[in-house]
Amino acid sequence: MKICAIICEFNPFHNGHKYLLDTARKLSGCDALLCIMSGNFTQRGEICILDKFSRAKHAVLGGADCVIQLPTYFATAPAEIFAEGAVKILASIPDVCTVAFGCESGKAQNFLEAAKILNEESQAFKSTLIKRLNEGESYIKSVAAAFEACGGNKGFIESPNNILGVEYAKAVLKLKPDIKLLPIERVGAGYNDEKIIENYSSASAIRQNLDSPLLKNNVPVFVFEDLKNARLAEEAFGNIQRYAIVSGGKERLSMTAGCSEGLENKLYSLSGLPDKNIIKEATGKRYSASRIRRILTCNALGLYEKDCKKFLNGELYIKPLAVKQCAKDDILTALTRSIFPLIIRQRDLANLSEKAKECFKKDILESKVWGIANGKTNYDFTLLTI
């Protein structure tokens, strides 16, 4: 098969995502569209508004042939690990020949050229990066300045989707250079725009405006029906995060990716505040809100940096969440050609290496934690056929 893959979160699935899937299928000329999707928590450290099986179902109804899960260790990691973890799994599937993604601007060659500059990290890049960081500039802006010092256009890597796109390109060059990149310019509101508009609002805006009369215009009807009973479980999960800070202490906090330079002391001292206040007080030029939120989430789930790197360099697995009925036989056959085992039933765990089993345990844990925060029960060993 000729498979086009999309790395995604779909939190929730909306009209812009439908456009992405439709356009990817058309432009790639693929036989099948495969999504590798975050589980119940996102790369920005947020708890998802709907569980992973509901979101996988929406993706299949919206145009995908199959959805597999991105392991929790990578789904909640900084952009570089998020991208490399996803591409590592996709590169293990011989039939995957294209990776499509939404972007603010640029063609495949722009992303590859940017990736090469960042991969090389010349002396000019390193010195500029260190200089800007020492001056108190944020990491993202410091990287952009270093990128410009090496001849790149810093504006190209300052937008959220383009940053991820460059990370996908870096991972593809490292793991399987013959995979083609297919950037697709996003339509509608910006990634961080929280104002709901007529048809193409961002996922952030949709989550923050569940009672808006415009909601129905922004998502397919099958998503709208599920969102009627959805709620933001941020407060409940925030209490879990605060408990994890207090019970695990500063040492555990310092083991999460991005928690350095004494940041663990700051977060521990703020643990008596509501989670939104912790994020607000800890955010600044040096540390973005997304970074703080990701640290709190990883700490709550016990996702530590040394383990994440260990799994990134080890054997993994393919965990399908949902598949289109008419494509089931072909797509599952394609997935079995991966060097990594397929997990559908609980007995399939016997095929995993000990390291892969350890990684998968966190996928089970994150489902349970999501269920606690939402007052629901999840069962991981299933495959939805749509």
Q: Per residue of the chain (386 residues), what is the pLDDT tens digit?
A: 999 999 999 999 999 999 999 999 999 999 999 999 999 999 999 999 999 999 999 999 999 999 999 999 999 999 999 999 999 999 999 999 999 999 999 999 999 999 988 887 767 778 887 888 777 777 677 878 888 888 888 888 877 788 899 999 999 999 999 999 999 998 876 656 678 888 899 999 999 999 999 999 999 999 999 999 888 899 999 999 999 999 999 999 999 999 988 999 999 999 999 989 999 999 987 788 999 999 999 999 999 999 999 999 999 999 999 999 999 999 999 999 999 999 999 999 999 999 999 999 999 999 999 999 999 987 888 899 99
CA distance 94 to 39: 24
Q: Does residue 16 contact residue 187 with C-beta atoms inside 8 Å?
A: yes
Number of Cβ atoms within 10 Å of the Cβ of 261: 9
Sheet containing 3-8: give its strands across. Answer: 180-185, 96-103, 3-8, 32-38, 66-70, 320-323, 384-385
Phi-psi region of 6 (alpha: psi -120 to 50; beta: other; left: phi over 0): beta
- List strand residue ranges (DSSP E) for the chain, in order: 3-8, 32-38, 66-70, 96-103, 180-185, 320-323, 384-385
Among the four given CATH numbers 3.20.20.70, 3.30.360.10, 1.10.10.10, 3.40.50.620, the one describing domain 3-105+160-231+308-385: 3.40.50.620
CA distance 279 to 124: 34
Backbone angles phi, psi at 360, to 5 degrees: -65, -30
CATH 3.40.50.620 residue ranges for the chain: 3-105+160-231+308-385
- Indicate the helix (H) or strand (E) that contains 190: none
